[in-house]
Amino acid sequence: MSQATPRKVWSPALASWAARDLMRQPAFTLVLFVALAAVTALAALVLLLQQTLATASTRLLDRAPHVVVRRVGAGGWLPLDAEAARTRAASVVGVLRPRARMWGVVSGPEGAVTLVAVDGRDNIDLPSGWPLPHSGEALVGPGVSGDETPEHISLNGSVSRVLTVTGQLPRSAGSVVHDVVVAHAEDVRALLGLGPGQASDLALDVFHPDEAAALLPELAAAFDWPVQITTRQEQLGRHLAHISRATGMACLGIGPLLLAILSVVVAVGIWGRRSWETGVLRAVGWTGADMLRLHLYRGLLVGLPAMSIGTLIAHLLLFWPGMTWVPQLLFGWSGPPPGFYLSSTGSAGAWLLAMVLVGVPFMAAVFWTGWRAAGADPGDILEGGR
Amino acid sequence: MEKSMRRARLLVWIALVMPLVITIFLAADRYVRAGRQDRASLRWMAALDLPSPAFWPAGTFQRHPQFLPPAVDVRMSPLFDWDRDGRLVHPSPR
């Protein structure tokens, strides 16, 4: 009486046989590999895109003021008296560091630029010891005037001014300073048409961001003029809504591409089916379990590397330092787009989900094919293939 | 035959090791760069007290939603029903 030896899950000999089988059909294997890698990369991109941009927005807006107060009239946004606004805001209990900001949009050499004044606020220090621009000088973002840093820059707002460029803001901060011009308050005031002592808006902080909403009624009552008060959370909500819309449209575009690649996978599967071989192997003594394992090994040998390559491609596409295709495609830049340096925080879940979304249906299809081969009668297969 | 089996074994080895190498690379890259990659942007955002990140070009309402005057009726939105003559089909937001 013979005792059946337990069958090992992993058999190196059978795996080598499966690899040889794949090598006998290099075109089939390559097309399947490329299609699987592409499907995984696209699925990971769809999952990562919105989440990564939302994370980037949240991280950046965490550095923005807790509350921004703007003076408004029937026609919209109005300049406010900087000193009066600061004094009134400071009178509200819980308000920290009220500071008048001078900023706006003016026309630059290659389109609109965001103009920011730096010495209108208290104790400002630029990163890495950058010098503050004096009157007639400016620091320009990397996208303001093309690839080369110009000696002068011409800006057109309420008046036209030519400023001497004293430095280019770093490309690594492109996702915030790409089209920003930093200039002296005197120049900014003239370009934006602000009167003496006027500012664009008032920024302030509170002890804790959650307190901001509770302070709004008191803050609004502290000013003699109508104001529009925006909390950081509201600002973030608007940004996330715009990002969701942009990425949602992109993902809708990716859908047909995914379908096309899936069709390729199915077509390749039909093309690569060789049922007569199954019949021959069964006829020479291969068991149903061997056939099933052969199919699973073949699937794993193609699927595992293809899906990991697909995930790697998606990761590099999104988190490569200075990546520009997202702003170019999603955010409507007509000139040179900013280079994004995105944080990959929280991306592991999306990688795993993409691999599961692609891997489970693929391995299920492989298992089904193997199951059918395992249960088929060799005589019937050989008769049918004749 | 022997050569072909050697190549097959190499293929199996590559197919098993490559996902491991890629997973380790991704995990290491994430560990090293996740919190550092956007450090310059964070510093400049705080230093300049900027109103919003430069995801969209300057002058667009996505970049500066605060530019939209509050007097503009929010019902003027493509998400609400307007007929071809510009009349609102449903006069109140649904």
ipTM above 0.85, yes or no: no
pLDDT band at B92 (very low <50, low <70, confident <90, very high): very low
**One domain for residues A245 and A188:** no
Average pLDDT, chain B: 75
* pLDDT score at A187: 93
- A133-160 residue pLDDT tens: 989 999 999 988 766 778 899 998 889 9
- Supply φ then ψ for residue A130, to 5 degrees: -60, 140
The average pLDDT across A323-331 equals 90
Structural contact between residues B19 and A351, judged by C-beta atoms closer than 8 angstroms: no
Cβ neighbours for A274, distance < 8 A, ≥ 6 positions apart: none
pLDDT band at A121 (very low <50, low <70, confident <90, very high): low
Tokens representing residue A262 in the block: 């899936």
Residue B62 within a domain? no
* pLDDT score at B16: 93
**One domain for residues A172 and A315:** no
Residue A329 within a domain? yes
* pLDDT score at A238: 87
The average pLDDT across A342-359 equals 85
Query: Is B81's pLDDT higher than 50?
Result: no
Residue B43 within a domain? yes
Q: What percent of chain A has pLDDT over 70?
A: 91
**One domain for residues A221 and A90:** yes
Top-confidence residue, B72 or A253: A253
**One domain for residues A118 and A202:** yes
Chain A, window 247-276: residues with a beta carbon less than 8 angstroms from a chain B beta carbon: none
User: Which residue range is the domain that position B43 belongs to?
Assistant: 2-54
Return d(Cα B46, Cα B41) in angstroms, integer. 9
Calculate the alpha carbon distances from B15 to A26, A298, A313, A370, B10 in Å: 15, 10, 17, 20, 8
- A215-248 residue pLDDT tens: 888 888 999 888 888 899 888 988 898 888 888 8
pLDDT band at A365 (very low <50, low <70, confident <90, very high): confident
Calculate the alpha carbon distances from A106 to A109, A112, A154, A193, B63 in Å: 10, 6, 10, 11, 14
Query: Is B84's pLDDT higher than 50?
Result: no
Mutation target for A interface from B1, B41, B60: give the one with most A CBs within 10 A.
B41
Chain A, window 123-162: residues with a beta carbon less than 8 angstroms from a chain B beta carbon: 124-127, 141
User: Which residue range is the domain that position A21 belongs to?
Assistant: 12-60+239-385
Top-confidence residue, A313 or A354: A313
Query: Is B69's pLDDT higher than 70?
Result: no
**One domain for residues A159 and A52:** no
* pLDDT score at A271: 61
The model's pTM is 0.81
Residue A5 within a domain? no
Partner residues linked to A77 by β-bridges: A72
Q: In B, which residues are within 8 Å of A239 by CB distance?
A: 52-53, 55, 62
Tally of domains in chain A? 2
Task: Count Cβ–Cβ pairs < 8 Å, chain A vs chain B.
Answer: 215
Residue B85 within a domain? no
Average pLDDT, chain A: 85
Q: In B, which residues are within 8 Å of A182 by CB distance?
A: 48
* pLDDT score at A295: 86
Residue B65 within a domain? no
Residue A130 within a domain? yes
**One domain for residues A347 and A203:** no
Residue B30 within a domain? yes
Nearest alpha-carbon partner for A307 in A360, A266, A250? A360
Residue A184 within a domain? yes
Chain A, window 179-198: residues with a beta carbon less than 8 angstroms from a chain B beta carbon: 179-180, 182
**One domain for residues A324 and A203:** no
Q: Residue A255 corresponds to which amino acid?
A: G
Q: Of A230, A265, A293, which closes a domain?
A: A230
Query: Is B78's pLDDT higher than 50?
Result: no
**One domain for residues A51 and A180:** no
The owner of tokens 């020479």 is A284
Residue B32 within a domain? yes
Tally of domains in chain B? 1
Partner residues linked to A294 by β-bridges: none
Residue A85 within a domain? yes
* pLDDT score at B68: 59
pLDDT band at A4 (very low <50, low <70, confident <90, very high): low
The average pLDDT across A336-351 equals 87
Tell whether A205 lies on the interface with B, counting CB pairs under 8 A. Answer: no
pLDDT band at A270 (very low <50, low <70, confident <90, very high): low
* pLDDT score at A122: 59
Residue B59 within a domain? no
**One domain for residues A252 and A363:** yes
Residue B50 within a domain? yes
Chain B, nearest residue to A330 by Cα:
B56
**One domain for residues A249 and A293:** yes
- A177-192 residue pLDDT tens: 999 999 999 999 999 9
Which candidate from B11, B30, B56 shows the least CB-CB separation from A23?
Answer: B11
